[in-house]
Amino acid sequence: MRFAGDAPTLTSALTTSAFNVGVAGGSFIAGAALDSSLGVTGPPLVGTVIAALTLLPLIALAVRSTSGKSRIVAHRTAAPAHAPNDRPARTPSHH
């Protein structure tokens, strides 16, 4: 959502769509494994393989971030200047 720019709704919709495609695809593959000669051990095996494949990019990112210089994407050095018409934030009054 931070990098969505002018399209946060589209970003949210694509994230949800990708999640649903993953659920449908995983269910289809697990159903096919259940219907195969693997029987009831098929779906857990499919889940294990998918979990292992999910860890591969995570491990690659971890190795990449530890082997090299860190990169700062954004860094704020000073407080933002206020426009002349900006009013300071009001503090709640206690009566």
pLDDT tens for each residue of 37-95: 888 988 899 889 988 998 998 898 888 877 656 566 665 666 666 555 655 556 666 65
| 5 contacts: CB under 8 Å, gap ≥ 6 | none
pTM over 0.75: no
pLDDT band at 8 (very low <50, low <70, confident <90, very high): confident
- Residue 28 confidence class, pLDDT cut points 50, 70, 90: very high
In 1-95, DSSP assigns E strands to none
| pLDDT for residue 5 | 75
DSSP state of 85: T
Report the half-sphere exposure of 84 (CA within 13 A, side-chain side): 0
